[in-house]
Amino acid sequence: MTLAALAAGAFAPALAADFKSDRIKVTAEGEGSDVILIPGLNSSPRVWREMIQSVPGYRYHLVQVAGFAGQPKGGNTQGSVAAPVAEEIARYIAASGLKRPAVIGHSMGGTIGLMFAARHPELPSRLMVVDMVPFLGAVFGPPGTTSGSIKPMADSMLVQMRAPDAAARLARTTAMIDGMVDTVAMRPGALDDSLKSDPDVSARAYHELIVTDLVPELGKISVPTTVLYVVPKGMGLTDEKMDGTYKAAYAPLKGVTLKRIAASAHFIMWDQAEKFQAEVNAFLGQATP
């Protein structure tokens, strides 16, 4: 976030309560029902800026994961990242006295949201997952892939992502952002967040996502859940194939709402901003179960 943006009042959150954590920082802004916003791998709360401005009337709690987007590594210096962060979000909700907030997570944030909703089903009122499957490893392997069978590949990726070659990292990250963000004007911010993220924290978090299979836990989620997804570019997948993939992946989650967003890459909130904002508005406007 720039000083100019703060001065303009475009995105000026205040520290949330007196909550202290070495794994996450949470800022809050707005008034109304509580909504937890969790960005994805290497991202910052900037991904929610336009949505917050266009969907007022809520108190948004913006999560920043330690080690991403220039933040100190803190408690994420070693070991897993996503699972401990999910527990810290649960602790934040309890410490702040929030009453069943809605939860929206993008990418890795969606994984964290699934973990949180499955392991603390009494805490959220509803969950939105933005472009994430419950077992990312299945995307990289053949039918029947398991956490164990995909681990050697994940281990190899871990080594590559930890490599200290700055030029190679820049080239790899630029290509990745170009593939995940169709809206050219939004790419510099995403690239900045990624390049300022700690390579080791990023590598361990990505490894964790690949080997973590949350499908067996989906049945524990008891709140209304909406999943927005896209057809990724360059993989030769049809709309029907992607629909089938998500339907199968989320089959154990009763009553899940699956919605494919057309003409968008991974960052739906930027590539299809109006559609995304409409979906969030409808999602948050549901009656609390």
CATH of 3-284, one of 3.40.50.150, 3.40.50.740, 3.30.505.10, 3.40.50.1820: 3.40.50.1820
pLDDT at 10 over 60: no
Q: What percent of the chain has pLDDT over 70?
A: 94
Q: Where are the domains of the chain?
A: 3-284
Q: Answer yes or no: pTM beyond 0.85.
A: yes
Q: Write the pLDDT tens digit of every residue in 36-85.
A: 999 999 999 999 999 999 999 999 999 999 999 999 999 999 999 999 99
More confident residue, 253 or 12: 253
pLDDT digits (tens, 9 = 90+) for 138-190: 999 999 999 999 999 999 999 988 877 889 899 999 999 999 999 999 999 99
Percent of the chain with pLDDT over 90: 87
Which value, to the nearest 10 degrees, does the dihedral of the CA atoms of residues 262, 285, 256, 232 take?
20
Give CA–CA dist 279/289, Å, rounded: 18
Residue that the structure tokens 């990023």 belong to: 202
Q: Which residue has the higher pLDDT, 167 or 35?
A: 35
Q: Is the pLDDT of residue 287 over 90?
A: no
pLDDT of residue 134: 98
Mean pLDDT of the chain: 93
Q: Where are the beta strands (DSSP E) in 224-265?
A: 225-229, 257-260
DSSP 8-state class, residue 108: H
- The amino acid at residue 33 is S
Examine the pLDDT at 259 and tell me if it is beyond 80: yes
- Alpha-carbon distance 27 to 63, whole Å? 7
Buried b (16+ CB within 10 A) or exposed e, 138-162: beeeeeebeeeebeebbeeebeebe
Q: What is the pLDDT of residue 15?
A: 52
